[in-house]
Structure 1
Amino acid sequence: MTTIYGHRGAKGEAPENTLASFQQCLGHGVRRCELDLHLSADNQLMVIHDPSLKRTTGRRGKVVEHSAADLATYDARKGGPGWVSPCPVPRLEELFEKCDFEHWQLEVKSASRTRAATTVLAIREMAQQFGLLDKITITSSSREVLGAALELTPDISRGLVAEYAWLDPLKVAQNYDCNLLALNWTLCTPERLIKAQRQGLHVSVWTVNEPALMRRLADFGVDSLITDFPGLASATLENR
């Protein structure tokens, strides 16, 4: 049975990585999500995809140059689907408080060794506080991040984000003792999928927005789909 993850909440329906987007996802009955994390200047976990503020808030500078309190006042509606009310950049803590997801893929972008360590430890502390240790997977394409997670937060599951096939993703996933593989859908051949699942990996493919592709990947037997349109995905897979 293929499950559905909302990509950055419901990126195709509401401004990505905002509370409105995650609420939209839950509104479709989709109770799994994927999001991106960066640290603020004061080491708070902020939910935003890019290291820079430009694309989603129109502001200058990098996330890491601003305090969490300031970031929480910036409107992140820019460049997304139209939305009536302002959508601030959320803290991860706010989403943990307000959104009842059964599983979270928390993607940590590449970081220096020190920042990777700070980030995974902050995730662990926050997840423990909310009793979510068994409901999250720290995912990354960065070896620094996966290495830090394996070493410092071994009790939290890990996932490799694989966008390109130049390195064997299955080997890399094995090296960091991952149990999830977030695979770019273009890399998801039936052979690679079967091999990954035999290796004990949950294979989550992204970003899948076309109904025909959703059906095809579900027929292949992928464990989950990450989509900008969780409502559409839910309707598509229910009708099979």
Structure 2
Amino acid sequence: MTHAWFAASPVPRVLAHRGFVSAQSAADGVVENSFAAVAAAHAIGATYVESDCHLTADGEVVLFHDADLHRVTGDPRPIASVRLAELEDLMAERGGLITLRQALESFPTVRFNLDVKADAAAAPAGRLVAAHAQRVLLTSFSDVRRRRALAAAHHEGGEPATSGGRSTIARIVAAVAAHLPGAAHSAWDDVDALQIPERQGRLRLLTPRLLDAAHERGVEVHVWTVDDPAEMARLLDLGVDGIVTDRADAGLDLLDRRGR
């Protein structure tokens, strides 16, 4: 049975990477993963927003990509050492901080794709999404962290969708390349989607064979992070199910022009 996260729109999907920040908004100081960026993605019609989870010093799950504040605010401290109130002050002129709780409650029609970035954030994030599990996909580069978040959600009665971490993706890609899809049977059963770059260094991850194997099992393939509309069109022609992009506006326009 298809998870409700996928039922919100037909394929192909556009996933707004860390929300949406237009050139004008960026000039005004708005940054990724801010309240304003999520609101902007929603305003342009993005059903799916990809974001990231970290935990503050006082235990609040916030949407933030990096482990520290340096790139976004110029402050070198780790997020894990900063309390929520201070983080709100730092983000006030950058589009506003958004916590995971605020995101889920303020945007009830948005489907969130949440990458758990910190071990400490896994269980708290899982507990928070449990009541909203029908519109959340949980993932992490770490399969251990991903499963910890899923277990916390399950304990609270929620069943989010999920996509594989590095080790799961590696097993699946290797099995498909070796023409041994059965060798990764348990890995396929563990995911609803594969979210991958087209290439990892010199290794091509996205292949027609991988797409066919995924689709045979009802697993979607989403490619990140693609901002060129011509590249988006090429990938959609290959049969990918979703594009993760900083240019959600361009992606949505492309889908409209193609008539989905």
1:149 Cα deviation (Å)? 3.3
Q: CA deviation at 1:98?
A: 2.1
Q: 1:173 to 1:221 in 2, by over 3 A?
A: farther
* 1:4 counterpart = 2:14: yes
Aligned-partner Cα distance in 1 for 2:95–2:167 = 29
| TM superposition shift of 1:203 | 1.4
Q: TM-score scaled to structure 2, two decimals?
A: 0.77
Partner of 1:133: 133
Matched-pair contact (CA < 8 Å) for 1:203–1:222:
yes
CA contact under 8 A between 1:150 and 1:177: conserved in structure 2? no
In the alignment, which residue of structure 2 is the partner of 1:79?
none
Name the % identity: 26
> Which sections of structure 1, spanning at least 5 residues, go unmatched?
77-84
Work out the CA distance in 2 between the residues paired with 1:162 and 1:6: 21
**1:123 paired residue among 118, 122, 125:** 125
2:202 is aligned to none
Runs of 4+ in structure 1 displaced over 4 angstroms?
11-14, 161-167
Tell me, what secondary structure is at the counterpart of 1:94?
Answer: helix
CA distance in 1, matches of 2:78, 2:42: 30
Counterparts of 2:146 and 2:249 in 1: how far apart (Å)? 31
Give, in whole Å, the separation in 2 of the partners of 1:214 and 1:163. 26
How many residues in Structure 1 have an aligned counterpart in Structure 2?
224
Give the whole-Å Cα distance in 2 for the aligned partners of 1:145 and 1:12. 32
Cα distance 1:173–1:20, how it changes in 2: closer, same or farther (>3 A)? farther
CA contact (8 A) 1:110 1:140 kept: no
Are residue 199 (structure 1) and residue 217 (structure 2) matched? Answer: yes
Alpha-carbon distance in 1 for matches of 2:14, 2:186: 22
Give the structure with higher Rg (CA): 2
Matching residue of 1:35: 51
Q: Distance in 1 between matches of 2:62 and 2:185?
A: 27
Task: Please list every run of 5 or more consecutive structure 2 residues that lacks an aligned counterpart in the other structure.
Answer: 1-10, 176-183, 200-204
Match of 2:160 among 156, 178, 192: 156
The CA distance in 2 between the partners of 1:69 and 1:110, in whole Å, is 20
Mapping of residues 44-193 of structure 1, within 5 Å: 44-75=60-91, 85-111=93-119, 115=120, 119-128=121-130, 131-154=131-154, 155-162=159-166, 167-169=171-173, 171=184, 174=187, 177-186=190-199, 187-193=205-211
